[in-house]
């Protein structure tokens, strides 16, 4: 009786490890394949039978990208837009959230529900009116087109995140400043900002990733290759010279770097930013 139970236990453990292995292959094989292919030459990518690791390790795909001003421009554009939106969003969200969490005003209760609903509006529905607005303001094919559009997407949720965070801070903090003769403004900058850094980081991560990954609006609101961001750059690469696969993979690796770095160094904030809206 005991022996059979032990055997059953061992079988279960073996099954678990097998399941974990299958899961690992499923999760990681495509990523591994991207990495491995980015270090191959374009002819080796379709070698038969396929080589798991590059037989001839080469950085030619990466050096091709770094030698190409146009491709570097995609990266520059992506970073510029993402950083600009992140800084503006966090700044505005912080001020608004401080107002929401510290002062009472009419209509505050319905606001949360409204902000959550904006998260679920299909982007394609907003694409046409945003296109109309961008064209009529004369900012089509400029950085402003992307920056202002992205802010319309990031701000509502950033405000919600920050308000949620500021609500957890005790009001005694503000009152202490008031006792010392400070205004709400000094309370915000001297006391609230330093202690709410975790909330600010989570909001920044959420905003940055949203901008970095955005495709539909970047595709529609810009036209010249000088204004394109990395996702569109990859798409153009795909159409242009039919299938420089190793370069496309290298570009994808480089395009995933910011996410990888944030993920590895700030897992907690990253997950907070990514699950934003779902685990509330």
Partner 1 sequence: MLVPMISVIVYSFQESAILRPDTRFAGLKHYAAVLSDPVFRSSLLHTLYFTVMSVIFHMGIGLSFALMLNSDRIHPWLRSGLRVLYILPWLFTAVIIAVIWRLILEPNGVVNSMLLAINVIDSKIEWFSDPDTALHAVTVANIWAGYPLFMVSLLAGLQGIPKDLYEAANIDGANGFQKLVYITIPQLMPIIVSIALLDLIWTMQVFPLIWMTTGGGPIYATEVLSTYTYKLAFAQYDMSQAAASSVIILLISLCMTVFYIKHQKAR
Q: How far is the CB of 16 from partner 1 (least distance, A)?
A: 6
> Are the C-beta atoms of residues 222 and 141 closer than 8 Å to each other?
yes
Dihedral angle, C-alpha 188, 190, 191, 192, nearest 10 °: 40
Residues that bind partner 1 (CB under 8 A): 12-13, 16-17, 19-20, 23-24, 26-28, 30-31, 33-34, 37, 45-46, 48-50, 113, 116-118, 120-133, 135, 152, 156, 212-213, 215-216, 219-220, 231, 234-235, 238, 245, 248-249, 252, 255-256, 259-260, 263, 267, 271, 274-275, 277-280
Q: How far is the CB of 134 from partner 1 (least distance, A)?
A: 10
Distance in Å, CB of 40 to partner 1, minimum? 11
The nearer residue to partner 1, 123 or 198, going by C-beta atoms, is 123
Distance CA 195, CA 206 (A): 19
Nearer to partner 1, 192 or 237 (CB): 237
Q: How far is the CB of 189 from partner 1 (least distance, A)?
A: 29
Residue 222: which of 78, 83, 123, 62 has the closest Cα?
Answer: 78
In 3D space, the residue among 69, 60, 237, 210 whose CA is nearest the CA of residue 146 turns out to be 210
Q: What is the DSSP string of 45-68?
A: GG-SSPPSS-SS---HHHHHHHT-
Closer by beta carbon to partner 1, 46 or else 189: 46
């Amino acid at each position: 009786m005991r022996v059979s139970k032990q055997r059953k236990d061992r079988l279960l453990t073996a099954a678990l490890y097998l399941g974990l292995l299958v899961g690992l292959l499923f999760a990681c094989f495509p990523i591994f394949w991207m990495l491995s292919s980015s270090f191959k030459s374009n002819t080796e990518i379709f070698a038969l039978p396929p080589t798991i690791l590059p037989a001839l390790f080469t950085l030619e795909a990466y050096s091709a990208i770094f030698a190409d001003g146009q491709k570097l421009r995609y990266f520059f554009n992506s970073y510029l837009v993402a950083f600009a939106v992140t800084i503006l969003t966090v700044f505005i969200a912080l001020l608004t959230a401080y107002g929401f969490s510290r002062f009472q005003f009419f209509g505050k209760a319905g606001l949360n529900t409204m902000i959550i609903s904006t998260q679920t509006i299909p982007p394609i529905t907003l694409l046409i009116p945003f296109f109309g607005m961008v064209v009529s303001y004369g900012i089509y094919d400029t950085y402003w087109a992307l920056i202002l559009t992205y802010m319309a997407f990031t701000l509502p949720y950033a405000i919600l995140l920050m308000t949620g965070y500021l609500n957890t801070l005790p009001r005694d903090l503000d009152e202490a400043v008031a006792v010392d003769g400070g205004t709400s403004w000094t309370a915000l900058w001297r006391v609230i900002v330093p202690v709410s850094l975790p909330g600010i980081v989570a909001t920044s991560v959420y905003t940055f990733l949203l901008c970095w990954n955005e495709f539909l609006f970047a595709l529609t609101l810009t036209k010249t290759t000088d204004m394109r961001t990395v996702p569109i750059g990859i798409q153009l690469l795909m159409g242009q010279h039919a299938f420089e696969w190793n370069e496309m993979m290298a570009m994808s690796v480089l395009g995933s770097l910011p996410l990888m770095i944030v993920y590895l160094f700030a897992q907690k904030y990253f997950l907070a930013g990514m699950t934003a809206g779902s685990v509330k």
